[in-house]
Chain A
Amino acid sequence: MRRIAVTGIGAVAPGEPGRERFWDRMVEGRPATRGVTLFDASQMRSRVAAECDFDPIACGLTPQEVRRNDRFGQFALVASAEALDDAGLGRDDLDGERTGVCLGSAVGATMRLEEEYVAVSDGGRHWEVDGSYAGPFMYPVFVPSSIVSEVAVKFGANGPASLVSTGCTSGIDAVGQGARMIADGEADVVIAGGTESPISPISYACFDAIRATTPANDRPAEASRPFDADRQGFVMGEGCAVLVLEDLDRARARGAHVYCTVAGYASRANAYHMTGLHPDGVELAEAVARAMDEARVDPGDIGYVNAHGSGTVQNDRHETGAYKRALGPAAYDVPVSSIKSMIGHSLGAIGALETAACALAIDRGVLPPTANLTTPDPECDLDYIPGEAREARVGHVLSAGSGFGGFQSAVVLSRT
């Protein structure tokens, strides 16, 4: 049975890009949420966002890479480069045919698709659009799998390559599937993660329409409040995290730093509603239980839970129920936190950012807090690490995601 190591981490998270800036924010418990600057959100109900201060050229991309790729693809190229560099794997060190790419994204290149649509439809005046007004590279924008090709081409990865688009669990699922590529012997190294750039009018309008995002526009830094009684919905975020996954024996043989292993993964569906959740969390509990089975850990072994914690009433209660069901009495002893309190909910990217935070938590011995948790919801009665990070040496951590389609996913990471 092959074990899967995490040997490199790259991040473009809200705020300054880069893994260490991301981790500093986690340790300091400092929210990156603010009023939307990426577009004029004055017509929107929710006008808060967790945005990346991202300059693709300063981050090392070439002008042509910038032109070809929508923002979410640019994030992926930058985070992949950082992750591979962190792993000590240059293009020449990689065995291309044994290297795979598995990235998640929920909404793809919607930012560029919308911008171009405004031109070809002349601001929504025409349904029969005029293609002569379209910019270049429309096909790559049409099929978001193009960013997987961009990463494969840039780093010479000839192994299996795929984009996973399971909505809000895409990031966890991409890491889980990437790990399976190695477990099944189909690759030795996988560039795995999730990326998203949904801070655009159509994404805001569509979440406004279901009142899932917060209208707390007058206090943007405190707008994302998972498990807090005053929460009003989630804050849209953007960003990307990429993990270099590697066969553990191979990683050890080359003397690589190993953050942790990906010890277990499972995804399940609630088969109930595209956006609704049972309050009892049965299916999320099932995913958690199966991921723990695969990792061969018991509830008492889990030292930290990185929650989905989106900051909607429905989610926070559903999730709290699921942990009690899956972990039993141990649920009351294990620290649980939601980093969405600081970096918002970046849809298909967040699961990868959360997994990266878990790997760093194991490696650095610090558990990120839930920011803005000042008035606990009486129905959410676990230890959510309010306000400040905690130092703790943990052996096994659980990260969970829940989202559109009723999909529920869980991954267990373990100290080696």
Chain B
Amino acid sequence: MIVTATLSLGMIGAVGATLLYVVSKKFEVEEDPRIELVLEALPSANCGGCGYAGCGGFAAACVGVKTLDGLLCPVGGKAVMEKIGGILGIAGLSEGVEPLVAVVRCGGERNVRSKTNTYNGVQQCSIVSGLYGGETRCTFGCLGYGDCAEACSFGAIVVNSETGLAEVDEERCTACGACVKVCPKGIIELRKKGPKNRRVIIPCSNEEKGATCRKVCGRACIGCGRCAKECRFEAIVVDNNLARIDHTKCKLCRKCVEVCPQGIIREINFPARKKEDTKEAESLRA
């Protein structure tokens, strides 16, 4: 009895094992072992910022190309790309790929943008924007319910409870673009981090006429175009009553900051201006 059982089970086991071995050999998928190595070098954030479905997809893409031109892991940046280049034995990061950062194009803090109604439904930007323009009269600006913060895997964007605006922590931001995709108002953009992290931005997205948007928000771009006239590099374009800085052309001269009658153009990470400079700017503004 025991012998029969042992024998028959043993036979079944042996047959099964042979079958499995044959099948696995026959249908073996050859995977480039380098994919595994590249994957290990990646930060495994799976944020999709590179444009591929997670780190696995990106690793496979890296292995399949002859040069890494145009491929960039925004989280790992240059260091990781060089590492990958080393693994694959090809040139590292191509020139011209500069680190980016997310920028929220709204400066309408709570104290300059008055609330005209109260919303007590689901606190989610996508739902609110599906219902109406929001609690203030500016229908373009940041709603402040934090869909972007929810989408960020790095904790790099949070809604400031005092100002009611989404704010980006540039140290943490990897420019993966998750917030850009999720913002229903489409006011977050990726732009060059700039040399020494210096950059000039216009934090407004209101496309209404000057008189109208001045009524709804104290930090609105009125589309007067003085910044565009002042800019010697043609980096500023006024379209739909709204000035936009083309970050690829901006040379950080900060002339626009001085002439903006609304005083909304922001210079970031610049050293404090000399006193004369600010005086001059103020007199110009007045």
- The answer to whether A and B assemble together is no
Binding site for A on B (CB under 8 A): none
